[in-house]
Chain A
Amino acid sequence: MSATTTPELTLPPKPRNIRQRVLVATGFLLFTIATCIPAIGGITLDIAALIRNWNNGAGLLLQLFTPDFTFLPRTIGPMIETLQMALVGAVGAAIVSVPLTLWAATPTNPNSITRQAVRTVINVIRAIPDLVYATVLVAMLGVGALPGVLTLFLFNVGVVVKLVSEAIDSADHAYMEAGRAAGGSQLQINRVTALPQAWPLFANQWLYALELNVRISAILGIVGAGGIGRLIDERRAFFAYDDVSVIILQILVVVVLIEFVSHALRRRLT
């Protein structure tokens, strides 16, 4: 066209894979459409009903922003119970998690049958949501803190064993060969070489589990498993949203505090 002095750039062709893109897009669309078909269980996109309900309920939401702090003293007891549950569940899980983790990691357990067995159990434990445990355990053991603590325990065992065993799996284990070369049994090798290496990993995840527990134990009471969630459920049933708001603020403060402390501790560990 015009007489330019610089030669025109020849760009390399873009690596495009149209067929793959179309495939991904159709897959996405089909799945999304399938989730919106009520006949097979998908959800009904009824926006009108949503707006109608919103008009009815907006007042409640407004109430949420005017917390009634005279309610605060009544929340202290349940909050302490919540924290106790969180701690006891985390500690119980911490104790159990050590042998289970060593069983679930390849370097510390060369026997693939027992390793797979432990991993499968852990994956099954992890597949069930926390409140589902709580619901079933409450039905089994009755309302109270025990089902709550057990729920937290199971949940924490799942988290800690999974994350720490994966961390052990992906680490380099030259030092363990030294133990093997010295003629140590697997137990001795784990005790003397793997465990000292894994303590920081464990401590990190234990603290993380404790953080998670504080959040979860705050809601366990909704299904009757003790703690401050019971109070939330009660006040919500009375439509006392100004009280609910106080409880949520309190949970917020406690969660942030625990996370702050836990982060500080974890930074010191690493």
Chain B
Amino acid sequence: MSGPVGVLHPPVRRRRTAATVWAVVVGGVVVAATAGLQIDWRELGQLPAELLRFGTLMFTDPDWERLPRALFEMWRSISMAWIGAILCVVLSIPLGILAARGVGPRWVRLPLRGIFAVIRAVPEVIIALLLLTVTGLTPLTGALALGIAGIGTQAKWVYETIESAEEGTSEAVRAAGGTTAEVARWALWPAVAPALMSFALYRFEINIRTSAVLGLVGAGGVGSMLANYTNFRAWDTVGMLLIVVIVATMIIDAISGAIRRRIMQGPAVNPGRRLVARGGKH
């Protein structure tokens, strides 16, 4: 008080009545939703103890004897994801290009976009589930389902990438007398290819997770094995399977992420040195 330096006061805050009202309304809805759920919230108190109990059952002595089988099934899931990703990309690139503004005619573009939006809105697993009941439950149909269920998002990425590509190169090719096909090959493709490759790998990463889920409903792969052993309450095997899923997913994410960065950012060499090297060639 009496010192030479006074206490600093932050500026007075604005009143925000509307925000307060909204907070109360949202809070009320949340409370109502919590109360409306048929959950005995007292169970939540025992939850940490329960999770610990099951955690020790699963992870203190994982059943490594079934590891070969688990790796086999994991590879099956990865295969489903990979083939599904290829299928999805192969289908979505032409469809996405047709749906891009400036490429396809309006009567093609709008219905296509509508279909993509519908596929996007329905959860992938439901689409896959429906397809699986029609095509039978095999890993191949799982891959097929992944391929089709992913089109909604993948094709949207494709047409958004194309639309955000710069006009300049396309105009240059057109001005030089290029046809639509030549515009696509020499102006659009070089501009969008890296992004599309990156999205393709990203689709693979997404599919790794979804393929495990498809296994849960019977399409085979690590998900099916997990569902079986969970039903048997064979917790040590479940623990081992979870470890396999986690490690495999993280490894694939890391590799795929590194490749995507490499695609989008180019090689990590000193750009100055490369210029010099290339200059020396000719």
State the A residues within 8 Å of B (CB).
13, 15, 31-32, 34-36, 40-46, 49-50, 53-54, 57-58, 60-61, 64, 80-81, 83-85, 87-88, 91, 123-124, 127-132, 135-136, 139-141, 144-146, 149-150, 215-216, 218-219, 222-223, 232, 236, 244, 248, 251-252, 255-256, 259
Contacts and interface: CB of A to CB of B under 8 A. Distances in A.
A140 B238 CA distance: 12
A32 B82 contact: yes
21 contacts: A13-B281, A35-B79, A41-B74, A43-B140, A53-B135, A61-B130, A84-B34, A88-B33, A91-B30, A127-B250, A135-B226, A145-B39, A146-B40, A149-B37, A149-B39, A219-B125, A223-B216, A251-B122, A251-B123, A252-B122, A259-B121
B76 interface: yes
* Residues of B contacting A: mostly: helix
Contact of A218 (B79, B126, B143, B209): B126
Given A43-B143, A57-B136, A251-B126, 13 more contacts: A35-B79, A44-B140, A54-B135, A123-B250, A132-B213, A139-B238, A216-B123, A218-B123, A219-B123, A223-B216, A223-B227, A244-B130, A248-B126
Nearest to A40: B75
Given A44-B138, A50-B141, A132-B212, A222 B129 contact: yes
Contacts of B133: 57, 60, 236
Given A136-B242, A149-B39, A222 B125 contact: yes
Contacts of B95: none
B91 to A, nearest CB: 16
B39 to A, nearest CB: 5
Nearest to B46: A141
Task: Report, as a range, how many residues of chain B touch the other chain.
Answer: 35 or more
Contacts of A34: 79
Contacts of B212: 129, 131-132
Nearest to A125: B246
A34 B72 CA distance: 12
B188 to A, nearest CB: 18
Contacts of B249: 127-128
B140 A50 contact: yes
B230 interface: yes
User: Of residues B74, B123, B136, B249, which shows the largest number of chain A Cβ atoms within 10 Å of its Cβ?
Assistant: B123
Contacts of A222: 125, 129, 216-217
Contacts of A36: 79, 83
B29 interface: yes
A131 B125 contact: yes
B126 A54 contact: no
B120 to A, nearest CB: 9
A45 B86 CA distance: 14
A135 B122 contact: no
A36 B83 CA distance: 9
B233 interface: yes
Nearest to B82: A35
A139 B234 CA distance: 11
A65 to B, nearest CB: 11
A112 B50 CA distance: 31
Contacts of B100: none
> What are the 10 closest A-B residue pairs judged by CB atoms, nearest first?
A57-B134, A41-B75, A35-B79, A53-B136, A43-B139, A84-B33, A127-B249, A129-B209, A41-B72, A41-B76
